[in-house]
Amino acid sequence: MDSGLAHFVEAKKSIQKWLHGQKNNRNRRRKLAELNKHIETHCIQLCHQEWDEVCDTIDGNINTSKTQKILKQDLLDSPATKMTAKMEMTKIRHR
């Protein structure tokens, strides 16, 4: 977890703790909703950044075992047989 996300989570916990006693406070509920949106967008940005780093490391190295594992685990939707997995891998290689 990076520092920005940790800060958002701490702020959310603080607001939730404070809101527990005052459930009808609209301003705090609105602030909590905004904070949830910030957390969600920050997580999406982190995922995209991490995926870009993975793509940069495997760029041009399609035949390494690490790349093969990433492709099998993350990109293929658990094919039913080994043959379908092999066919999907050849499709990806020839793109």
How far, rounded to the nearest angstrom, does the alpha carbon of residue 27 sit from its chain's CA centroid? 30
Distance CA(29)–CA(19), nearest Å, equals: 8
Residue 95 has pLDDT above 60, yes or no: no
Map tokens 């940790």 to a residue: 6
Q: Which residues, including other chains, have CB under 8 Å from residue 68's CB and lie 6 or more apart?
A: 89
Backbone angles phi, psi at 73, to 5 degrees: -80, -45
Whole-angstrom distance, CA of residue 14 vs CA of residue 6:
12
What's the rounded Cα separation, in Å, for the pair 19 and 12? 10
Q: Per-residue pLDDT tens for 34-45?
A: 999 998 999 889
What is residue 78's predicted lDDT score, i.e. its pLDDT?
60
Domain ranges of the chain: 1-59, 61-95
Model pLDDT for residues 36-69, shown as the tens digit of each residue = 999 899 988 988 888 788 777 777 776 677 777 7
